[in-house]
Every structure is written in C-alpha cells, then in structure tokens.
Amino acid sequence: MLKIPLKTVKQFSCFIVEKGVPANQTGYYLKWLKYYLDFCHKYGFKALDMENRTRFLEKLRAKKQGESLRKQAHHAVSLFYEMTSPCLENSAGIKNRKVTDTGNNVASFFQTETDDSNISSNTPFSQAYAVKSTSNSGNPDHDSESGAKVKITDADWTEVFNELKNAIKIRHYSPRTLKAYSAWARKFQAFTRSKEPSLISTGDVKSFLTWLATDQGISASSQNQAFNALLFLFRNVFNMEFGRVDGIVRAKRRPYIPVVLSRDEVDRIIGFMRYPHSLVCSLLYGCGLRISECLSLRVQNFNFDMGILTIHDGKGRKDRTVPIPDVLVDDLKAHLEKVVSLHEQDRRDGYDGVFLYGLLEKKYKNAARELVLQWFFPAKELTSVPETNELRRYHLHETSMQKAIRRAVKKARISKRVTAHTFRHSFASHLLQANYDIRTIQELLGHSDVRTTMIYTHTVKSRTIKEAKSPLDF
C-alpha cells in the first residue's frame, strides 16, 4: 500500500509556511497536494510536469469545484513545484531537502508499509501529520525544521464554522440543526483546545465521545446527535472520511414512553388558557401538530372549504395534510378575521411584511406583504431588523406558548410533566384508543417510520383477551 512519507509532509508544511501560507490553511494545502499526486499516479502522469497541473485543475472544474478552491489547489501545486525545483534547493531555507528529478515518478513521493505503518494511503494528509506532530515533546506549538512554529492548539476555527454554516444552508437543513451542530462543533473545539483543524483525527472524536458518555453523563440521544454533528463536520467541512470509531463507551438508550393526558385533562388545561394561546393549544391537540409547525402556520395553510390543514416543511422538510377539527372551525374563522384586520393595519402603517424563508422574497418582491403569507398566529409587536432598518411581523414565540402551558397546568393542578409536545402524544394515543389504524396515525403525525408511531401502543391499555380460547368456542 502506498503512502506519503512523514518527512515529505513536514518539508512541504514548513515550506508553505515560509512562503506566507497561514498556519490554519496548511492542512488544506496538504490535502490538495495529496489529491494532485493521487491524480498523477492514477493516470500515469509526471508529477513535476506543469502541464499536468492544468489537467488536474480541469478535473477539479469538471467535478464542480468552486473557483476559490481551484485557486487554492493551483497555489498548493505551484508551491510543490517550487519546493522540488533543484535550483531552489539551497535557497529555500530548508536543510537536507533531498527531493530531486526522480519526483517525476509519482511513486517516489510515496513509500510502502515498511515504516510509519500507522499512516496509510487512506489517511488524510492532515491526519497523518497529526499522528506524529502531536507527540513532539508534548508541546502544542513545536518548531519545524526551518525554525517556523507550526501551531497545533489555539487555532482559529472561524473558517470552520463559516463552512459548517454554508454546508447546512446549502442542504436546506432547519435552523435548529444549524444551532445544534454548531454547538457540538464548539464543544469539540473546546475539548481539543482549538486544535489546528488540519490535525484533527478520528482519535479526537473517540476521546470526545467517550468523555461525553463517562464524564458528562449525557443521554444516549444527545450522544447520537453529537456523533451525527461530528460526522457531518468531517465529511462536509474537513473533507475527511469518518472511518470506524470503535471502542466508544455509549449510554444505553432506554425505551421512552411519552406522557399522555386524558381528554378531561386536556379540556381543563385549555380552559385555563387565554386567547390566542388556548386556540394554539387546541390545534396542537386537535391536529397532532408540533409546536414549531403550529406557530409557523400561515393563512394559506387553511382550506376551510375542504376542511384540510396543510403543514409545509415539517420535521425533515416533509409536507402533510390533517383534517381541521369541526369544533374549531368557527373559532379559527373568527381568529382569521382578526389576522386580516391586523394585516390591513400593518399595511397602512407601512410595515415591511412578515419574515419569509428561503428566496421567496427575492423571487416575488411583494410576497412578504401578501395576506396569504401572513402568520396565522402573529406576534403582538413588530420586530425591528437593525441590519436593514426594517419593521417586520414575526409569529407568536414558542417561549410564550410554553409559559402559558405551564401556568395553565399549574392552575388545573395536573400532576404530570406537560409540555406542548404532550398534546401531540395525547392526540396519537387517543386515536389509537379509538381503534384507528396505526398507519393512519403515522400519516397524520408525519412519521417516516411506523416504528416511531408504535411507541404509542405502550400508552394505551391492551384490549386483547388474555384468556386463551379455541376458535371453536368463539
């Protein structure tokens, strides 16, 4: 198996630092060098032939790599040419550089597994370098052969978080995913003492996840979220394969049985709530909505003629429809009249519209002011946007709703832990209790997997006959 010697990695790292490449960018330059040598090895090209640099860049263009990345790759390969040029061997300031014209044979830049066997050809450059450099006298910042310091800890992760944010937005993941993944990335950064991103390895991940499980005692679901966040970080920001992470201590995930309210308890809680929170809570229970789905409803989501409520961009960006409860139709229509009146007043006051997601506002200039896109549960006050000096309308805030529920539960003297999601659990359990098909409940809840819906079978008493009987006795 072929691999690049650690000596070549160190020489190139020191050389590019001398040439002004920031220390936090060295890992990316090493990555491009590896890709270039792999490219030449695959197609039988000479590594030091500048025409092959052009071929390499054309290959990157064909793979839809951005212009900034192609420029970085061009610079990395150019520095490699400069480093290996015989005429610069004595002037570059790196002693004992023995890279000669034999470098035209790509195999000369690799070695077989006779030594340093812990660095394989499948190991990313940054990871290979980290294996050796982190053990250098135990000093986070060690001197290179040229005397330049290569920083291992206390590195700047600003670019990492920018790339993470862009990678999540490109995939249209929810803001909650961005918030959660960024939080885990920051915890990982702190755990590694802001280790140079190019030197991060799966060993760091293993230590971090084990630390979370043993020292921090976090739940199994939080461990899984941390694992997924770091997996995304490695693949889409560090451009490294995660590989196998064996031997991690994992907390066992216990079966979760949700808290369910009786119909009487639901009515009592809603009875102690004020408008519009009472109407929101009625929809949470009556339609089995998540609180984020309910508060994000817009006027266009309601089809009173057909008696259907459409939920757009639910969890996992899935759409679904649910029936509008007949008992709520009059209240919902009365509420809609108030929304229309508020919208008309906002237009007279010259507001800038509601908040819209995505590029809808760029596509339709006046979309934010159209009635159909107004929030069905608007906030009382307009929100000021300092960056654009605009006044926009947001929806009722989730925190306000949760506080209203807690107050009502306290007044109703319900001895259960009740949150907004409890009404969704109660919706599913009561349908199951009424002998509705599990697949129907799955569709109404918007679950991708019926196994998620099956958890509600534990909240309802079994109606099967316990005493065994023969069919002849039926």
* Active-site residue list: 290, 315, 421, 424, 447, 456
67-84 and 6-18 helices, crossing angle to 10° = 110
> How buried is residue 372: exposed, middle or buried, by Cβ count under 10 Å (0-12/13-18/19+)?
exposed
Cα 301 to Cα 311: distance, rounded to the nearest angstrom: 7
The DSSP call for residue 434 is: T
3-state SS string for 268-336: HHHHCCCCCHHHHHHHHHHHCCCHHHHHCCEHHHEECCCCEEEECCCCCCCCEEEECCHHHHHHHHHHH
Amino acid, res. 202:
T
Tell me whether strands 378-385 and 320-323 are parallel, antiparallel or unpaired.
unpaired
Cα 135 to Cα 320: distance, rounded to the nearest angstrom: 55
Contact 213, 248 (CB under 8 A): yes
Q: Could you please report the per-residue DSSP string of 112-174?
A: -TTS-TTS-TTS-HHHHHHHHHTTSTT-SEEE-TTS-EEE-SS---HHHHHHHHHHHHHTT--
The three-class DSSP label of residue 380 is strand
Largest CA distance in the chain: 100
| Length, in residues, of the chain | 474
Amino acid, res. 167:
A
